[in-house]
Each structure stands twice: as structure tokens, then as C-alpha cells.
Amino acid sequence: MSDTPRKTLRLPVKVEGEETPVNPRRKPIRGKPTVKVRRNPTDAGPELAEATPARKTDWRAKKPARASGAGPEKGRSESPVGHSTRPPTSGKPVDGKTGRDRGESAGRPRGEIGRGPAPANIGSGMVPRQTQTTPRSNPSEGVRVSKLMAERGLCSRREADSFIERGWVYVDGERVSELGSRVDPSAKITLDKQARATQQRLMTVLLHKPVGYVSGQPEPGFQPAVTLVLPENQYHAPDTALFHASHLKGLAPAGRLDIDSTGLLVLTQDGRVARQLIGENSKVEKEYLVRVEGKIVDNGLALLNHGLELDGKPLKPARVEWLNEDQLRFILNEGRKRQIRRMCELVGLRVVGLKRVRVGKVRLGDLPLGKWRYLREDETF
């Protein structure tokens, strides 16, 4: 260690009764009072009392009572001194006048923006814009627009709901855009050009269904006939439309053809076609070639034409005739489940083969078994 003595810092010795000098450049510390000990001015003498400033008035103190004698409103606090007050406004006009018209905002400083809703333009000649496009009607009366459209054959009810949601339906010239709207049964209904264009894009397929395929819902171990609608199974003819995957969306059979039967099966995306073929009031004929075996009962052929009933309900008149000793031709206007087979059983015959060859004006023709084609524009049922 070095022998040099260490220097120590010496603080100035404070003499009793002597005041400590204050640095004039030192700024006071914010938040701390300059006087640590508060003393009563009356005990410190007149000099200290005069030097102590008067305490400021608390702004939270209650204001004096109003000139009218009414005290502060219950549930409301007084406004600070120097701030303007304004009475509460609901923003709704009373007797056709708003709060501004009645002069309620007279005490409000100029340029202050109110927080209440803007007053309605009443008496200014402005009419609010109507956004509802549904024609006026009593909800409890009339007929639903979608049902009326389906009954008139404009489209199916499902398509009608879709067109209404898109605003493509007009009733007596007014646009309908609300589902469940009811109108007068005699109202005039028209479709927008976009709806008509959509209907023209809907496809109808004619399929020569083989035995072993079900026409509707798939059954265990069997495939639905719609699975045969593939590009490789399309029957090409002059001016044939090309297959597109979108043509399978919503494609459903319009009529049944049981698993043991073959022939023409119609599948369509168009609800109008489906309703025309299988609707309650459908009058479209279906023609079948039926091969039978057994001995027919007396006047059995007459009963096949008219006089039989299934499930307790009479059948509509049909046209049935012999083509040869074991083959019959059936022309029906209805399509109950396994109707032809059950009709033959009632007269002593058993069906061994059934083929549908015509639906309305459309014939099966030379369409090969298991193949399909589009319904042409010049073809109608």
C-alpha cells in the first residue's frame, strides 16, 4: 500500500442559528411543498399570517341555490363553475318542433355539437326513402308468392324463393324481395330477365336406365341412376351440348322407374319440368311396354283400363291393350309405386319385363341402354 495519506471530503459545518444558503438556479421539485411543516398562521404571528396565501375555493363545492328556488335535480350532479349547462333532450320532435326550434339550446355555447340524434326533417318537404320493395298486402290474407309462382308453372317453389331473395320477381310491377310475402291470387307476376336467363341454363337429361339402378334414393347394394350421367356415357348427336360438371348440381329424377324396370328416365335441374311431369295436376302421359305371363281373369282387360284401386284409392282411367299374346301396352296419367305390376297381379298376370318408351311427346327412340343425352330445344313434354 502507498504511504500517501487519503484525502477525505469535508462537509461544511453548520453553525446553529445560521440559515443554509439556497441555490437561486435550483428549480423547485414538483409535487413537494416548499414548506415541510404547516403551521397555523395565527400562532406564528401577524407576519407569517400575511405571507400565507388564502386557500383556493374547492370547485366541487355546491353552488348556491337557483334563483327560482328549485334545488338540483335528483340523480344529476351540478356542472362545474364556468361550464355551460343544457337541459336533457331526447332527440324526438314534440308537436312537430325539435329542441332547437323551441330554443332549448339557447344556453349552449356557440359551436358546441350536441350528442343527441339529429332532428327529423319534418315540415321541410323531404320524404324518407322507402327501402321496402314488397307490395303492400295483409300478411294474414292472400297467397304466398312462391306458391302462386309454382302453381302457374313459372318455376318450382324452391326456385321461386331463390329468385325472390335476389329481387328477380315483380308483382303488379313492384319488386318483391321478402320471403313469405302474400299477394292477391289474381296478381300479375313477372320474372326479371336474369331469372329467365338462369332458367334457360337449367339442363334436362334423358337416360336409358338399365335394370338394377334405382331412380330415386339409393338403396343398400344398388346405385342411383344419376351416377350414369358421365361424359363417357353421353350419346352424341348433331348440335349436342357439351357436358359440364355444373349440370349435375341439383339434377333429380322427375318420376320413378323401379329397380326391375328399364327405359326412359327424365332427370332435370328445372323445377318447371319436374312439376309438369310429376305434379298433382300433371296430365303428361307415360307409355310402357309390359311383358306378362299367366292367365288373365274375365273382363280383366276392362278392369286394367278402369275400375281398379290401390291402397284404397281408385286409379285414374288408363289405356291398356294387347300387342301380342304375352305383351301389353300401358298408357298412364299417374305414377304410383309399382303401379303396373300391382295392377297386373289384381287380374291374374305377372310382369316379367317392363320398359318405358315415352314420356309426353318425348320418346326413348334409339338411345342405347345405359346412355344419356340432353333434351333438345325443339323437344317438349
When pLDDT is cut at 50, 70 and 90, the band that residue 85 belongs to is very low
CA 223 to chain centre: 34
At 182-228, the pLDDT tens digits run: 898 889 998 888 887 776 678 899 999 999 999 887 667 788 999 99
User: DSSP label at 111?
Assistant: T
Asked whether the beta carbons of 294 and 349 are under 8 A apart, the reply is yes
When pLDDT is cut at 50, 70 and 90, the band that residue 246 belongs to is confident
Whether residue 104 is predicted with pLDDT greater than 70 in this model: the reply is no
At 270-285, the pLDDT tens digits run: 888 888 898 777 889 9
C-alpha cell at 207: 337416360
Check 101, 258, 326, 366 and give the catalytic one. Answer: 258
pLDDT at position 141, please? Answer: 73
Indicate the range of 110-124, 254-268, 314-328 predicted with least confidence.
110-124
Q: What are phi and psi of 172, to 5 degrees?
A: 55, 40
Q: Computed from CA positions of residues 44, 45, 51, 57, in that sequence, does the dihedral angle turn out positive or negative?
A: positive
Q: Report, in this order, helix, strand and coil percent for the chain, each rounded to 5.
A: 20, 20, 60
Q: Which residues pair with 48 in a beta bridge?
A: none
How many of the other CB atoms lie within 10 Å of CB of 368? 10
Whether residue 38 is predicted with pLDDT greater than 80 in this model: the reply is no
C-alpha cell at 215: 331412380
Whether residue 313 is predicted with pLDDT greater than 80 in this model: the reply is yes
In the residue annotation, 258 being an active-site residue is answered as yes
When pLDDT is cut at 50, 70 and 90, the band that residue 317 belongs to is very high
At 325-373, the pLDDT tens digits run: 999 999 999 888 899 999 999 999 999 999 999 999 999 999 999 999 9
Whether residue 174 is predicted with pLDDT greater than 80 in this model: the reply is yes
Whether residue 28 is predicted with pLDDT greater than 90 in this model: the reply is no
How many of the other CB atoms lie within 10 Å of CB of 150? 20
C-alpha cell at 5: 495519506
Q: What domains, with CATH codes, occur in the chain?
A: 143-200 (3.10.290.10), 204-374 (3.30.2350.10)
When pLDDT is cut at 50, 70 and 90, the band that residue 256 belongs to is confident
* Amino acid code (one letter) for 271: G
pLDDT at position 354, please? Answer: 96
Whether residue 229 is predicted with pLDDT greater than 80 in this model: the reply is yes
Q: Provide the 3-class DSSP secondary structure of residue 161.
A: helix
pLDDT at position 106, please? Answer: 46
- What number is the average pLDDT over the span 86-113? 48
